[in-house]
Amino acid sequence: MNVLEIQHLVKEYTDADTPVRAIDGISLTVAAGEFTAIVGPSGSGKTSLLNMIGGLDTPTSGTIHVQQQNITQLTAAQRIDFRRNHIGFVFQSYNLIPVLTAIENVALILQLQGVSKKERQQRAVELLTAVGLQDRIHSRPANLSGGQQQRVAVARALASRPTFVLADEPTANLDSKATENLLQIMQQLNKEEGTTFIFSTHDQRVINKARRIITVEDGKIHTDEQVVPDSATTLAPMV
């Protein structure tokens, strides 16, 4: 079942009076349970694509359907509700709320959803345990390493049981060990919980773990490949 369907997506903006086409007619689908990497050089359009998939930005034309709902027709406030209930975000710089502890950061999104205190505490502890931070649940971000912060961010992204998780360069600020650890957790969640992950990256370690690699160049999909994880073997080109 497809959780994401994109049709003829175009994003144009003006940079110093010069029209720029950041996304140039992209169409793709993502099925539930995929572990997909969007790769490409800087300025290729992968972050713009992720922003529009996540409802953070609106396209100039084209449609994005998430579980049959066309999110390009939503108002700004409706998009916020949509993001809260359907999409988990993992950012490059972790972006945890500094005044909140790990458990509060994870539980915040559940609170926004109106989940009861007991239930959200339980879910937050579960998720932090799943990412190996059961002994750091009351630590503030400032007292956690980069890798630990990113694991809290993953737990936060999963808290609302989203349709999929969007991760923008999730390992860019992590060392090898923390990257390996994070990827293991994400893969485990993908396999065991069936969580769909879509991430932009140019980290080869991440690309090696992906089961589908979409290469974006100049705002267009250059290649879209199903691969065997950890070997980067091409299975079948889709485009």
Partner 1 sequence: MNILRMAWKNLWRTKRRTLITVASICFGVVLATLMRSLQDGTYSNMIKMSVQLASGYIQLQHPLYQQQKSINHSIAPTASELSRIAAINGVQTVSKRLSSFALFSSGSTTKGGSVIGIEPDKDAETSNIQHWVAEGRFLNKGDRSVLLTQHTAQNLHLGVHDTLVLISQGYHGVSAAAAYPIKGIVQFATPKLNHLGVFMDLGLAQEFFDTGEQVSAVMITVDDYNTVPNTVAAITAATDGAYNVLDWKTINPDIVQFIESDQSGGMVMIAVLYIVIGFGIFGTIIMMVAERKRELGVLIAIGMQKVRLYVLLFCETILIGVIGVIAGFSISVPIVVFLKKNPVQLPPELATTYAKYGFEPYFFFGTTPTVFLYQVLVVFGMTALIAIYPLWKVKTLEVTTALRS
Q: Which residues bind partner 1 (CB under 8 A)?
A: 51, 54, 56-57, 77, 80-81, 83-85, 89, 91, 93, 95, 97-100, 104, 107-109, 111-113, 156, 160
* Token pair listed for 121: 């505490």
- Least Å distance, CB 222 to partner 1, is 23
DSSP alpha helix (H) spans, 66-171 = 76-86, 102-112, 117-130, 146-159
Q: Which is nearer to partner 1, 148 or 224 (CB)?
A: 148
Q: Which is nearer to partner 1, 31 or 97 (CB)?
A: 97
| Distance in angstroms (rounded) separating the CA atoms of residues 190 and 60 | 32
- Least Å distance, CB 227 to partner 1, is 29
CA angle (81, 107, 113) in 5-degree steps: 25
Dihedral sign, CA of 132, 135, 137, 139? negative
The answer to whether residues 105 and 96 touch, using CB atoms and an 8 Å cutoff, is yes
The answer to whether residues 23 and 9 touch, using CB atoms and an 8 Å cutoff, is yes
- Least Å distance, CB 20 to partner 1, is 15
Q: Which is nearer to partner 1, 73 or 111 (CB)?
A: 111
- Least Å distance, CB 56 to partner 1, is 5
Q: Which is nearer to partner 1, 128 or 213 (CB)?
A: 128
* Token pair listed for 112: 């926004």
- Least Å distance, CB 16 to partner 1, is 16
Q: Which is nearer to partner 1, 63 or 85 (CB)?
A: 85
